[in-house]
Amino acid sequence: MSGTSMATPATAGAAALVLQVNPKLTPNMVKMILMYTAQQLNGYNTFEQGAGELNIEGAVRLAKQIRTDLTNSTLVGTSMLTGGTLLSPAPLPSPQTTIAGQTFPWAQGIVLNHTYAKGTALIAKYQKIYGTGVLLGDGVLIGDGVLIGDLTMLSSGVLIGDSILTSSGVLMGDGTLFCGTGVLIGDGVLMGDGVLIGDGVLMGDGVLIGDGVLMGDAYLQAQSALANGDDTPSMEAELDTGVDYLGY
């Protein structure tokens, strides 16, 4: 079975297990762990699968290794795994999971707004976007080049993607182009498959009448023709007299 109704209780249960082994995790850390350890599904883009298929074994294993003394005042780039320091980082967990004899890699990335970030620094170094009162998308460059947030939110070693991809089923960031992050969907801009959304007709290309009704160009042309003495305009314009067909 599939769908958000099936995914929601499974993900809620996974979040509970992650918090059970490490109650000090912030909401953003829980989200990061679930996404970083997920399994990317081949042939699906980020809109369809997010970070991928839930992997509870990997999520719980990673959560156990994250320090419990991290706070909003922790410096960006501080070693995030137990047993590590700035000069000697802790060893990274094996980025793969084996279940029922099947081994698959972790996505090793997270979804940020309409793009993604990847790299082992996401779990090796503390990122300011993991703090409370912050969104995972903060500190990420968006399409117009404006920086969200006025602090250094991400450490070195975190690579921000510049497009939305259809996954190859291995790591986040691998695959083929679906569409660019600077493209608005549904506004008539080309999507990844080269198909133009919309037929190029502009709605409301006319004059606003007092009650909020837009009159189109054809109506205006007909009115102009009548005003100039042309009693056979290209489109007859029938004025609203306020009387309906029963005479009221």
**Which DSSP symbol is given to 6?**
H
Based on the domain organization, do 65 and 165 belong to the same domain? Answer: yes
Please check the confidence at residue 247 and state whether its pLDDT lies above 80.
Answer: no
- Give tens-digit pLDDT for 182-200: 654 454 444 445 444 455 5
Residues of the domain holding 234: 202-248
Tell me, what's the pLDDT at 61? 97
Residue that terminates a domain, selected from 150, 180, 210: 180
Based on the domain organization, do 42 and 154 belong to the same domain? Answer: yes
Based on the domain organization, do 91 and 159 belong to the same domain? Answer: yes
| pLDDT top residue among 136 and 109 | 109
Residue that terminates a domain, selected from 180, 213, 231: 180
Count up the domains in the chain and report the number: 2
Based on the domain organization, do 37 and 155 belong to the same domain? Answer: yes
- Strand-pair category, 115-118 with 109-112: antiparallel
Tell me, what's the pLDDT at 225? 63
Name the nearest CA neighbour of 48 among 111, 126, 142: 111
- Give tens-digit pLDDT for 142-186: 444 444 444 578 888 888 888 888 999 999 989 998 887 765 445
**189 within domain boundaries:** no
**Looking at 82-86, 95-99, 113-117, 125-129, which range is the least confident one?**
82-86
pLDDT band at 140 (very low <50, low <70, confident <90, very high): low
pTM: 0.69
Please check the confidence at residue 54 and state whether its pLDDT lies above 90.
Answer: yes
Based on the domain organization, do 107 and 166 belong to the same domain? Answer: yes
**80 within domain boundaries:** yes
Based on the domain organization, do 134 and 45 belong to the same domain? Answer: yes
**87 within domain boundaries:** yes
Task: Enumerate residues 6+ apart whose C-beta is below 8 A from 6.
Answer: none
Based on the domain organization, do 215 and 173 belong to the same domain? Answer: no
**196 within domain boundaries:** no
